[in-house]
């Protein structure tokens, strides 16, 4: 069964379920992309900073060559990294992702974070362990991203990790509205308030870390594991689905795009088997009640940046 599509305000369609590639090692991700395309995924979520776009591109290229998919069958997202926010760097950053992915256009290009890092050096420029910031305003970066739509390098543009005030500020000056805000979203941080702001403005939400990212590099033994959440058990039994499948379906049933990451054939396959059931409103409400403001990705490296999205009293 193919993934259902959601429609952006601009008419472009996106498969509601995509393959996440954050933390997928270069040596594993080509295979993961090939499996995913064989299984029926048509949406791949990528980023320059993941350091694996070349291998993602090899997987895509192989499946286009063998006739499994055509370019227009698939939806590919990439993201502008923080060191390329200065407007004169944006087009080249986009072209680098295109070259790595072996594509002529992106379906979607996101600003990965609202804050910028010192330009042009390392991806995490640091001095004595402290990340070096840049004060480029995301409104200026956005203007340069709008030009990528004009020139046809990308079909749509969006944002990631923006809080509600930053969205409001962006909307005041944007010529082209973002189609989506990609944020951490799972039952421990269900983002209901932010999702309402987005939907009131015609912006779809994309959920990253929908399974609670058990492979996040900073996970500590004893941290709560969303996939092992005891309260999910009875819901899994009721629908005869795994915790991952329930967590994925939870987002789909809330109208949220979802991008679970896996590099394992069985799990990539399992995560796509979510179109033969639907959660009841009562079960969605039950899962909603797990929320505990449980943000996993705090981006403390950028602590103190004026555009850090999680440090002010905002959502």
Can residue 267 be called a binding residue for ligand A2P (CB under 6 A)?
yes
Can residue 18 be called a binding residue for ligand A2P (CB under 6 A)?
no
List 9, 31, 41, 50, catalytic entry = 50
Can residue 215 be called a binding residue for ligand A2P (CB under 6 A)?
yes
Q: Which of 153, 69, 140, 155 is nearest to 108 (CA)?
A: 155
- Look at the alpha carbons of 210, 215, 218, 223 in this order and tell me if their dihedral is positive or negative: positive
Can residue 252 be called a binding residue for ligand A2P (CB under 6 A)?
no
Which residue's CB is nearer to ligand A2P, number 210 or number 309?
210
DSSP letters of 200-254? Answer: HTT-EEEEESTT--TT-TT--TT---GGG-GGGHHHHHHHT--HHHHHHHHHHHT
Specify the stretch interacting with ligand A2P by CB under 6 A; choose among 56-64, 141-149, 168-176, 266-274: 266-274
Among 17, 263, 274, 302, binds ligand A2P (CB under 6 A): 263
What's the alpha-carbon Rg for the chain, to the nearest Å? 19
Can residue 262 be called a binding residue for ligand A2P (CB under 6 A)?
yes
Burial of 222 (0-12, 13-18, 19+ CB in 10 A): exposed
Can residue 212 be called a binding residue for ligand A2P (CB under 6 A)?
yes
Can residue 213 be called a binding residue for ligand A2P (CB under 6 A)?
yes
Q: Which of 104, 106, 100 is nearest to 54 (CA)?
A: 100
Can residue 227 be called a binding residue for ligand A2P (CB under 6 A)?
yes
CB atoms inside a 10 Å sphere around CB 111: 29
Among 10, 173, 264, 289, binds ligand A2P (CB under 6 A): 264
Can residue 224 be called a binding residue for ligand A2P (CB under 6 A)?
no
Rounded to the nearest whole angstrom, what is the least distance from the CB of residue 226 to ligand A2P in the complex?
Answer: 8
Is position 105 annotated as part of the catalytic site?
no
Can residue 73 be called a binding residue for ligand A2P (CB under 6 A)?
no
Mask 19-38, x = binds ligand A2P (CB under 6 A)? -x------------------
Cite the beta strand spans of the chain per DSSP E: 5-7, 13-15, 19-20, 43-45, 75-80, 106-111, 116-117, 126-127, 130-131, 133-134, 154-160, 180-184, 204-208, 257-258
Among 141, 156, 209, 251, binds ligand A2P (CB under 6 A): 209
Rounded to the nearest whole angstrom, what is the least distance from the CB of residue 266 to ligand A2P in the complex?
Answer: 8
Binders of ligand A2P in range 103-132 (CB under 6 A): none
Q: How far apart are CA 170 and CA 179, in angstroms?
A: 12
Burial of 69 (0-12, 13-18, 19+ CB in 10 A): middle
Can residue 154 be called a binding residue for ligand A2P (CB under 6 A)?
no
Which residue's CB is nearer to ligand A2P, number 20 or number 158?
20
Can residue 246 be called a binding residue for ligand A2P (CB under 6 A)?
no
41 in helix, strand or coil?
coil
Number of residues that bind ligand A2P (CB under 6 A): 19
Buried residues in 40-52 as b, exposed as e (16+ CB within 10 A): bbbbbbbbbbbeb
User: Interface with ligand A2P by CB under 6 A: which residues?
Assistant: 20, 209-215, 227, 242, 244, 260-264, 267, 270-271
Query: Which residues carry out catalysis?
Result: 50
């Amino acid at each position: 069964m193919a993934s259902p599509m959601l429609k952006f305000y601009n008419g472009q369609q996106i498969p509601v379920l995509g393959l996440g590639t954050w933390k997928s090692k270069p040596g594993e991700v080509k295979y993961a992309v090939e499996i995913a395309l064989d299984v029926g995924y048509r949406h791949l979520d990528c980023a320059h900073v993941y350091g694996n776009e070349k291998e993602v591109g090899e997987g895509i290229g192989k499946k286009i060559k063998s006739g499994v998919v055509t370019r227009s069958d698939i939806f590919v997202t990439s993201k502008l990294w923080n060191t390329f926010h200065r407007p004169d760097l944006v087009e080249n950053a986009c072209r680098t992702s295109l070259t790595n992915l072996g594509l002529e256009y992106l379906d979607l290009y996101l600003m990965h974070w609202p804050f910028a890092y010192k330009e042009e050096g390392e991806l995490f420029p640091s001095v004595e362990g402290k990340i070096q910031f840049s004060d480029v305003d995301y409104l200026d970066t956005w203007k340069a991203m709008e030009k990528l739509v004009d020139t046809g390098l990308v079909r749509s543009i969006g944002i990631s990790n923006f809080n509600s005030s930053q969205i409001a500020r962006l909307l005041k000056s944007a010529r082209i509205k973002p189609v989506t805000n990609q944020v951490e979203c799972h039952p421990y941080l269900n983002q209901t308030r932010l999702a309402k702001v987005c939907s009131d403005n015609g912006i779809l939400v994309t959920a990253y870390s929908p399974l609670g990212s058990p492979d996040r590099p900073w996970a500590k033994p004893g941290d709560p594991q969303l996939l092992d959440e005891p309260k999910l058990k009875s819901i899994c039994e009721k629908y005869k689905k795994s915790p991952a499948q329930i967590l994925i379906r939870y987002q789909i049933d809330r109208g949220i795009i979802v991008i679970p990451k896996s590099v394992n054939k069985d799990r990539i396959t399992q995560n796509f088997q979510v179109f033969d059931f639907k959660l009841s409103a009562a079960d969605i409400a039950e899962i909603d009640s797990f929320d505990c403001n449980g943000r996993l990705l705090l981006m403390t490296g950028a602590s103190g940046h004026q555009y850090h999205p999680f440090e002010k009293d905002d959502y």
